[in-house]
Every structure is written in C-alpha cells, then in structure tokens.
Chain A
Amino acid sequence: MADLPHSVDVRASIRFRFRGRDIELGDFAPRMTLLDWLRIERGASGTKEGCNEGDCGACTVVLVRRAQGAPNFTPVNACILLLGQIDGAELVTIEDLSSAPGALHPVQDSMVTHHGAQCGFCTPGIVMSLFAQHESKPQTLDADAVCDQLAGNLCRCTGYRPIIEAALAAHVVPPQGRWPGTEAMHAGDMLIGDDDQFFAAPASIPSLAALYAAHPDATLVAGATDVGLWLTKNLQDIRKIIWLGRVAGLDAIEAHADGLHIGAGVTLAALAPHLGALHPDLGEVMRRFGSTQVRSSGTIGGNLANGSPIGDLAPCLIALGAQLVLQKGDVLRHLPLEDFFLAYRKQDRLPGEFVHSVIMPPLAAEQAFRAYKVSKRIDEDISSVLAAFCFDVAQGRIGRARIAFGGMAGTPARARNAEGFAVGIRLQDESTWASALSALAFDFQPLSDQRASAAYRALVARNLLTKALIELRGESPATTRIAPPREP
C-alpha cells in the first residue's frame, strides 16, 4: 500500500451506483477511462466514442451526486474521464433512460418526433446532455440555454435546429425523477493499487499533502480534461494518479475581506456564477469556456496548474490581481498569479507542491473591467487571443492599469509596457490612446499556429485594447460586439 499516514482506514475500491445496483470495483488500471470500461469491460455500446478527446460529446454520460438534498445532474465526457473519478456517483448512461423497453424518456421521445437524429451516432451523447438539463428542472428554457448545454456535442448531420426544438418541446414534460443520485462519500481515503501503480483519492488536504510528498512523481488529476488526453492520445503510461475530486475543503468558495478564496478543486461550472456576478464579461468567458461537460469536470486549480499559454481563466484572473496559494506539506505559499507562469508549460511549482486555492479580489467601484475571447469558432473553441483589462478610471482618465493576455506568449502574461502607457489615457481623446496601443508590440511577439498567425494575434490584441477603450468611453456592447454578453 502506498503511504497515506493520515488516514485511518483506506478504501481499496471505488463505489458507485449503476443500473440500479451498488457497484464496488477494486481491480482496474489507474488509467482506465470510463468509456473503455463501459464499452469494453461492460459491453455497453450505447455510449459512443467520437473523438476520444472530450470535444465531440458522443460519449456523454451523466453523473448524479446529491448536494443539499437534491440530485445534481452532471454531464461528462466518458472518453477522458478516469474510471476512478465516478466514485461516489450514480452513473447514468443512454441505456438507463427508457423506463421500460420502448418507454422513452421525454427527451428521447421529443428527439424522435422532431427528427433530431439522422445518422444517430452523436445522438446518445446529445440525449444525455439534454437529459441532464431536463432532469435539473430549469424554471425556463430557451434556445440560448439549450445551445449552451450542447456546446460540447457535435452533430454533423442535422444542423441542430430540430435538436434545439426537441429540447424546448420536452421541457414542458416534468422531469422523470428516477435518478436520486448518491450522497457524497467524503470520509476516508481511497487507494487502489500499490506503491508502483495506483489510483488514489485522498479525502483531506493533509492526506493529499502527505501522499504527494511521498510520491512527488505522481500525477495530480482534478477533472482530467487535459490529463485524459495524455492517456488517450499520447498513450502516456501514467502509473500513479492522485485524484483531487474527494479532497474535503479543496472545493470551497469562501468570501473574505481580501476577496473570494476559491479552492483549487472548485469546478469551472461552480466557479462560473461567481465570476459572472463579478462582471458580465467574465460570465461570457465562462459560458464559452470549453463546454458544459468540460466545465463540469475541469477545475480552477487544474486549469491554472496545467499552465496552458491560452487558458482563458489565467489572463482574466491576472487582470483582476488574483493571488495563487500553493501548498507543500504543511506550508502555504502565496504569489501573484502572473508570477506562477515561468515559461511555456513551466510553472513555479515545487516537487510535491500543489495548488491550494486562488484569492480573487473584488472589483472596486472605480475599476472598469473588460474581457474578450477571440477564437475561430465562438463556442467550444480554444482562444486565439484572450484579453482582459482592468483599469482604474476617474473623471474619464485611466489611473492604474492591469492588462493580461492569453495566446500572445508562451504563458498568460501581463502587457507591462501597455499598462505603463495606459496610465493617463483620457478616454474621450483618442490621441491619448496611441502609445498604449503601440506599446503592445513591445510586450508580445506572438507565434503562428493552427489557430491564428502571429500577425493576426498582434493586430487583434491591439484592436481589443481599442475596443475596451471605446466601450469604456461609453459605447454600448450592442454596437461593439457581434454577441454581447447575455443577462445572467
């Protein structure tokens, strides 16, 4: 057994509910994905593999966990979810939806009558995404909400219109309520395997700290929305996995005087409303972040620790002045988020150190914030450029400025030169904007890749600063954006 000194009794199996039964599994490879388990081990072929990287949604299944006494329906991509991650959940797949042979769930029935399937291959995933939404009983449902729910479900045949109509029509039928979900099982650490190869799920921060200190070569997994691809695409032989999804306290959001303290394990889905409340642009960035499935699994800690040069969260948080809190053993370390990113895919994280939390300061009354995500496709796409601006504005004049970009360098980074020249800008006098705009060229030498050319990125960065200044000058987003942020 691997070293878990703080635990009293260590569970050596995962437990979940499936097909009306409680299942306990203690013998599986740490890297086994949920989809492979379903299709290969269980022979349950209703759930499809479309891309094996969490982008097409054909493999969508739903995890039901109880929270505050009510079931929470979470659609996830089974292809990149590790089997161990379903611990403590009720697993619902497409085969579970009919109450009897031929007795379709309202979403299924509506998909049939609205001609929502053509080739049918994406259909199980689409049905599961719509099922999760339907059983979650939203008060109202409009086409925007359906499209948001389906951003991670690709269909190549229908053009989506009948699917959207099917979802809206099904909404009038009450949820079926046949999936009560399972209560979270936080008590006790879990470890399946041995010292050389394991899937571990510590239940507390001290357990995590101790296990990771003993196995600094282990891979920390939060949502597996990126680690999953290391397995399915790079075929990495990851032998030691520490899953963070059961660590008590790591998923907390607490309000303090210096801002929100957001635990590293908070999912992007849970984080989204808090960011949206801070500023509508942040709500829009989160709406477009990955997909419903990705936001359900992915976490703020995983997103930052992964160190993507284009991660959308990092530039937003940097512009806001967020602090990152790291932990190793018992020691906490605070640093400005921008200092965490050292170079391309290289972060200031010591062996055995993990992301504990993020401290996100509030926006002051005099602070004006803007964030823009630019990508080839509006929904479910990785940004070519993400820009976030936070200006202190008094009497139409910019005082302090924090400007951060993703996609412009090897890491998310501040535009220090532009920030300097932004100070003193008079919003109504465009001639005062020029030096800050020009300074961006000294801040970044972006790269060309499949998403965009260097020249495009440089031009867009400049234009987004222009756009922010135009908006702060008073232009309504209705005249400056093709898709203004929606009302929350």
Chain B
Amino acid sequence: MTMPQAKPREDDLVIVRQSVTHDSASLHVQGAATYVDDIREPSGTLHLAPGLSPVARGRLLGLDLSGVRAAPGVVAVLCASDVPGKNDVAPAFADDPLFADGEVIFHGQVVFAVVAQTRDAARRAARLAQFDIAADEPAITIEAAAQRGQTVLPDFDFGRGDVQEALGCAPHRLSGRLAIGGQEHFYLEGQVALAIPGEAGDMLVHASTQDPSEVQHIVARVLGCPDAFVTVETRRMGGGFGGKESQASQTAALAALAAHVTGRPCKLRLDRDDDFVITGKRHDFRADWSVGFEADGRLTAYDVQLDANCGCSADLSTGVVDRAMFHAANAYYVPAVAVRSRRLRSDTVSNTAFRGFGGPQGMLAIERVMDAIAHETGRDPLDVRKVNLLAPGRDRTPYGMVVEETDTLPALIEELERSSDYRARRAEIAAHNATAPIIRRGLALTPVQFGISFTLVHMNQAGALVHVYQDGSIHLNHGGTEMGQGLFTKVAQVVAEEFGVPLDFVRITATNTAKVPNTSPTAASAGADLNGMAARIAAGAIRQRMAEVAAAMWAIAPDAVRFRDGRVFGGNESISFRDLARRSREMRVQLSEAGFYKTPHLDWNRATKTGRPFLYFAYGASCCEVAIDTLTGESKVLRADILHDVGRSLNPAIDIGQIEGGFVQGMGWLTSEELVHDAKGRLLTHAPSTYKIPVAADVPRDFRVRLFDNANREDTIHRSKAVGEPPLMLGISVFNAIIDALHGLAPGVHVPLDAPATPERILFSAEALRAAHKGEGC
C-alpha cells in the first residue's frame, strides 16, 4: 500500500494556473508572427534546392551536373566533395550523410544541392541532373526488412520471469500479429533555414528546429569549425511534433554549407513534396504477441516482439524503440513478461521522433491485446482493462521500475466511466447494432500511462537566462523552443509569478545558442518541466538579490519581502518593481542570472536494464464512440470523452489545447493517415492531396475534454505534469472502438485489423468476420 498523499495546499499563484492566451496569439491571427521564411532576406540572399536520388538503393556510379550548372540563375552546385568538415548530419551514429556519397540508401536521398538566385531557378535546375546509379533490389516494407534481417542497431530486450513457462501454464492463451503504420508529421511549416555568414568563419543560422544546439553542433561538424563559430536562433516553428528534432539538421547544414561556399546569405525552404520524401517519419512497427490470462482476463504472461522499421539509418531509433518497449504494458501489471525488439533496416527514409516517440506503438499493441482477451473471455473490454491496472503490490513495470502513483489511474477511469455514461451507452449501442446491419457502432475506453523524462538520462537538463533591466522589464531566454505548444507562454508565466509582476513585464525572446548553451531538444514532453524550472531558478536568484536590496533599505529580513502586482512589499513599506530594479543597479547588484536544472532521481542504466527511467507518469483516458459503414469501411468518431492528468495545470487552456490536438493527431495516425510506398521505394503519399490528416469535420462533434485534478507528487514546476505527448495516445480509443464495432459482426471471433484503420482495412475486416460468422452458423 502506498502512502496516501496529502493534498497540496491551495496555492496562491496569481499568473501561473491562468488560461492566458498564447504569447503570439495576436500576431498569429494577423499574419504578423515571423517564421524563418518570413524574415526579411538580407540583400544578395541565395536559395537552395536539393537534388534527390531517383533510386532507393544502389551505387552512385556517376553524376552529371553540367545541365544543372548551366541552368539560368545557378550560382553553385554542391555535393559530398564540397563538404569541408564531415559529410554527416546524424544525431548519434554517423550514418546520415548530408549528401549521398558512393551509395544511395533511400529514394529521395539528397545527392546534391543547387544554389541559385531564386528558389524557382534552383528548383528547376535541380531537375536537370543525370544520375548513373547501379540499382539494387530494395527492402521497403517491414516484412522485406525482417526477411533481409539487417538492423541499424543491436536488438534489445527486458522482462521478468520465465514467460514461456508462464504462457505454457496459462489457463487461456492467445497470440497474434499487429501491423502498425507510420505517420508523417505534417507540420504546416516545412523544413526551412536561413544561414548568414559573418566575419572570420562566423555563421548565424535561423532554423526551424526543436533542437538548436544539435543544429549548431551539426553545422559546425559539416563546416569543420568549432561549435563556438556557429549561432543558431529559433523564434518559433510552425509545428514540430518531433519532426524538427533531428530532421532539421540537414536543411540547416545545407543552407550553412551554401553560405560558407558562396559567402552570401543562403536559404533553403523545402517544397512540401520534397519535405515528405526527404525527412523521417514515425516508425512503422510489427508486434508479434502471445498472452496468457485467467478466465477474468487477468494477465499472467505477455511476450511481445516489437519490430520497428527504422529505415536506412539509426537516427533516434535507440530511444524510440526503447520507449515503445517501456510502454509495451501501458498501465497494466504483467507477472511474467518479455519485451523484445529489433531495429530493422530498410531502404526507406530514416524514421525519427514523432510525438510519443515509440510509446504509442508499444501501447497500441497491448490495447489490441486487451480487446482480444475481452473477446475471448466474453467480458467487457473495460473490465478486462480495469482488472489488469497496476495496483499496490502489482506495481512493478516490465523494466523493473516500481510505480508509486497507482491510485490515480483507477480513480480517473472510474470518473470517466461515470461521466461518459459508459455502461448505459454500451447497452444502447448493443441495442442499436442488433437492428443495424450496415451502420454499426462501437465504444471503447482506454487508458494512457506515459513515462516522463528523456530515457537517456543526461538529456534531462536545461538552462535559462533571465535579465532584469533597470526599468523593471524582464528579458527571458531558455533552451526550450516554441512550436505552438505554448512553452514560451508557460515559462513566462512562471517568471512573472516569481517576480510578482504582470505578464507583460516579461519579454519572451528567441531561443539562441549564444544565450543558453548545450541544451537538450524540446522533446519528450519535457519542455515546461525542464525550462520552467531553470527559468524559475534564475528568476528566483535575482529576486532574492532584489529582496536583499529592499530588506536593507527597510531594515527587515529578506524573507519578509514580498513581490506581487508589480510592487515589492516589506513591513509597512513598498516600492514599485521598476524602482527596486533601478535601485538594485545603483547598489551594484547583479540583475542577470543563468538558471540550470537537472531532473532528480533518474538512474536508468540501459546496459544493466535497471534503475528508474522516469521521474513520474502522466495519466489519461478517453472514451470514444464510432460508427462504421460495413459496406464501404468508412468510419466516423461520433463522440469522445477525455479525462487527462496534467498535474496542476500551469495554463489550463494551453493544456486542453495540447490534449485535443494530441487526441486528433492520434486519431489521424490510426485512421486516415496512411503512408504508401511502391515496390521501388517511392513514397506515393507525399503531399496533402494523398496523405490525409484530420480536417475539421473529422473531429467528433461531441467532444468533452476535462482536466483531472491531481497535483504532481514529484516536485515539478508548480506541481504540473508534462502534456505534450501523452494525449496523442488517447486517440488509441478510436482504434479500439472500431474493433468493438467490427466485433459485433462475429462475436467471439478475433477481429483482424491493422493500423491505420482505413476504410479498406475496415471493410476487409468486416468481410472476414462476416465470413467467419457464416462459417460458424453452418
């Protein structure tokens, strides 16, 4: 039994907890927010276009660029031999060439780049290259990759107990395979960078990236100069979702290389179709599972092989597949468990970070298994889920970490079950389906338990830089990046709270590697946790010094000084924050501070498979109702009820925005978003005309989203919880609801359905179930 936690005292926060609007909202709606392509180009700016491999796998025997060089407006053409430093933009394993060199490893790989007077001229010239490539047979699908058996990284596994033995002894046993599709980020702003050369080798790069430090490092690596020569600045991105973590490096490196070679400012903004082809996506997976369980659905053993299609290189696949493994049991306790993984190499673009970072794939598999158990036992799928939730004494994850907060999720599920009217609707849907042969409905309530922290422990650090100027205005800078998630707003709220000043005292500034160095990417949902803490530490240090100035002035103790409403109080005295700032400067007090934070308690050791990878877990659950057309396979989400745990919210409106947006993105991943390659490895769905993310009408018209009141038990920034990634997995309930709708066609029969549940997959599943049902009836 874990100790019941005392409810934290009602806090007296004034600015934190408020639903203030996004700091750029007014600029956004006026088209006045500046993205990289909107920066007024310095005079003489040149433009790049990449030249792409027309072959997925082969040896580059020759490359005739004479037509490219002769094209109108062309200033330079760059390829591997023009790289002064290393021809590598990989985040870790030196296996992502900036330009193909000797061999090509996927269709659409950058082979050269054109630098021209205009973007149009560059794009036209890039199509004039003559390639001589000795093409080999590519492995494109995960099946082909598995058959070939090459991996980009070693296999990894963890678990507990003798799972084969436990499966053998299990009262009931099922097994199956689930194919899980990848996903294109489709950030609305494509990859873009503007590089401006300075004196003596300096390079300033405006990049749309979640990881300015990594871009800095890679630009320096490509140019062969020290990191200190390169400054990377990112004011905002038009969406990231993981797609601008490692994937922003190549675009920035190309622009910087061109600027280095030509001595002129150079910009690369990828055309949308090129962006689709050149940049990595969510990994597609294949999960082969066997499960043992009791008659009531209680798990006794789970054995899952997670095969990930990593594409042509390692990229971030260590962490992505690890996170799939960490989430392979979701919120459930499994006595005997084996989680095994392979990181398969295919001749496709290298797959990368995408909101959830593998977690969604691991979680989808076990949620699929939960339904299979329910169908086998005849129990309600929600009851099967509930009986398996982690609980005191049944609180150890497959990777050995003991979960202390086991009480939150059952309470959250109970509340959602009640507020969504799950049981009554379950009965109502059954009655509907009994008389509806064509349009069938389904319902599912699924939980999310998502581990928060980078699983690579050293990445859990952040820095912030805060200045108070003598007029009381505050300059805020930190290593986090703004991609729409509202991080800058939240951190500004934290800083304003710390100084007791109105939010508009705080000037938010662009992320810049010259201000805060050696940062981690804004990823793993950790942006506010890390940077909010670092900024609070910086602001708190300055406030303390200012308090000492006031205390000396009033002859009171510094801890008797209070900051609020733009004033500073002590005893019977008060002074405006602005005047105290001026006074502090006159007293020669430092009004600038670099804050630094590192997440405590983390000690995961991958080599020994022991320790604690996560500081805490974020919880949520969603209940979805769908309708499917069993003649066409079309589906529609009719209603979604969501209850989600963000700890104590820093900004409820922003958090609800993350939850809704994450849910819809997860829904898209599992329904209409389908990546299709042809046999030669060409991506056929390379634009929004063929790759279908949700539109407004796809969002359930009845959409009820609430925050679950639950202070974080860990000492996070104002007891909040991370919110970026976890809600994406709320979309899994859409997939399970579709399974539920299909299951009614042949009760007790395993529902064959892979993800995404496109109309085609739903229709063929319905056909198979109808055939099975008929077969049983005969």
Residues in A lying within 8 Å of B, measured CB to CB: 36, 39-40, 43, 45-53, 55-56, 58, 93-95, 97-98, 102, 104, 107-109, 111-113, 115-124, 127, 143-144, 146-148, 150-151, 153-164, 233, 235, 372, 374-382, 384, 449-453, 455-456, 459-460, 463-464, 466-467, 470, 479-483
Which 10 residue pairs across A and B have the least CB separation, nearest first?
A46-B31, A119-B484, A121-B238, A120-B28, A94-B31, A118-B484, A159-B660, A159-B664, A55-B688, A45-B38
A127 x B29 contact (CB < 8 A): yes
B697 x A151 contact (CB < 8 A): yes
The residues of B that contact A113 with a CB separation of less than 8 Å are 21
Pull 6 A–B residue pairs with CB atoms less than 8 Å apart, ordered by A.
A53-B272, A56-B188, A93-B31, A159-B665, A382-B689, A480-B438
Determine how close the nearest CB of chain B comes to the CB of A29; give it in whole angstroms. 10
B774 at the interface (CB under 8 A from A): no
Which chain B residues numbered 183 to 210 have a C-beta less than 8 Å away from chain A? 185-190
Which chain B residues numbered 155 to 183 have a C-beta less than 8 Å away from chain A? none
The residues of A that contact B657 with a CB separation of less than 8 Å are 115, 118, 157-159, 162
The residues of B that contact A153 with a CB separation of less than 8 Å are 695-696
B572 at the interface (CB under 8 A from A): no
Which chain B residues numbered 486 to 502 have a C-beta less than 8 Å away from chain A? 486
Determine how close the nearest CB of chain A comes to the CB of B442; give it in whole angstroms. 12
Which chain B residues numbered 391 to 448 have a C-beta less than 8 Å away from chain A? 436, 438-439
Determine how close the nearest CB of chain A comes to the CB of B436; give it in whole angstroms. 6
The residues of A that contact B30 with a CB separation of less than 8 Å are 46, 94-95, 97-98, 104, 108
A450 x B690 contact (CB < 8 A): yes
Q: Give the contacting residue for B26; candidates A51, A102, A118, A384; CB below 8 A.
A: A102
The residues of B that contact A481 with a CB separation of less than 8 Å are 439, 629
Given A124-B31, A154-B688, A456-B760, do A119 and B634 touch, yes or no (CB 8 Å)?
A: no
The residues of B that contact A43 with a CB separation of less than 8 Å are 40
Number of A-B contacts (CB under 8 A): 268
Given A56-B188, A374-B759, do A120 and B695 touch, yes or no (CB 8 Å)?
A: no
Which chain B residues numbered 26 to 42 have a C-beta less than 8 Å away from chain A? 26-35, 37-38, 40
Residue of A nearest to B654 (CB): A115
Q: Give the contacting residue for A463; candidates B186, B236, B631, B656; CB below 8 A.
A: B631
Question: Assuming A119-B484, A159-B703, A450-B674, what are 18 further A-B pairs, CB within 8 angstroms?
Answer: A53-B273, A107-B29, A108-B29, A109-B29, A118-B485, A119-B237, A120-B238, A121-B188, A127-B31, A144-B697, A147-B696, A156-B185, A160-B664, A376-B672, A376-B759, A450-B676, A456-B759, A482-B629
B758 x A376 contact (CB < 8 A): yes
Which chain B residues numbered 627 to 652 have a C-beta less than 8 Å away from chain A? 627-629, 631-636
B760 x A118 contact (CB < 8 A): no
| Bound: A49/B684 CA distance, A | 21
The residues of B that contact A375 with a CB separation of less than 8 Å are 759
| Bound: A113/B237 CA distance, A | 21
Residue of A nearest to B185 (CB): A156
Q: Give the contacting residue for B696; candidates A49, A160, A382; CB below 8 A.
A: A160
Determine how close the nearest CB of chain B comes to the CB of A298; give it in whole angstroms. 14
B635 x A123 contact (CB < 8 A): no
Q: Give the contacting residue for A119; candidates B236, B632, B689, B699; CB below 8 A.
A: B236
Q: Give the contacting residue for A155; candidates B188, B654, B685, B689; CB below 8 A.
A: B188
Given A119-B189, A121-B238, do A379 and B697 touch, yes or no (CB 8 Å)?
A: yes
Determine how close the nearest CB of chain B comes to the CB of A442; give it in whole angstroms. 21
Given A94-B30, A119-B484, A148-B697, do A450 and B236 touch, yes or no (CB 8 Å)?
A: no
Residue of A nearest to B692 (CB): A377
The residues of A that contact B438 with a CB separation of less than 8 Å are 467, 470, 479-480
The residues of B that contact A115 with a CB separation of less than 8 Å are 19, 21-22, 25, 653-654, 656-657
The residues of A that contact B688 with a CB separation of less than 8 Å are 50-51, 53, 55-56, 154
The residues of B that contact A235 with a CB separation of less than 8 Å are 123-124, 127
| Bound: A98/B26 CA distance, A | 11
B239 at the interface (CB under 8 A from A): yes
Q: Give the contacting residue for A377; candidates B240, B486, B698, B767; CB below 8 A.
A: B698
Q: Give the contacting residue for B189; candidates A48, A127, A155, A160; CB below 8 A.
A: A48
| Bound: A311/B1 CA distance, A | 64
Determine how close the nearest CB of chain B comes to the CB of A355; give it in whole angstroms. 24
Determine how close the nearest CB of chain A comes to the CB of B674; give it in whole angstroms. 7
B31 x A483 contact (CB < 8 A): no
Determine how close the nearest CB of chain B comes to the CB of A49; give it in whole angstroms. 8
B616 at the interface (CB under 8 A from A): no
Which chain B residues numbered 4 to 38 have a C-beta less than 8 Å away from chain A? 19, 21-22, 24-35, 37-38
Residue of A nearest to B667 (CB): A159
Determine how close the nearest CB of chain A comes to the CB of B370; give it in whole angstroms. 25
| Bound: A449/B689 CA distance, A | 13
B632 x A460 contact (CB < 8 A): yes
| Bound: A55/B694 CA distance, A | 12
The residues of A that contact B656 with a CB separation of less than 8 Å are 115
The residues of B that contact A482 with a CB separation of less than 8 Å are 439, 627-629, 634-636
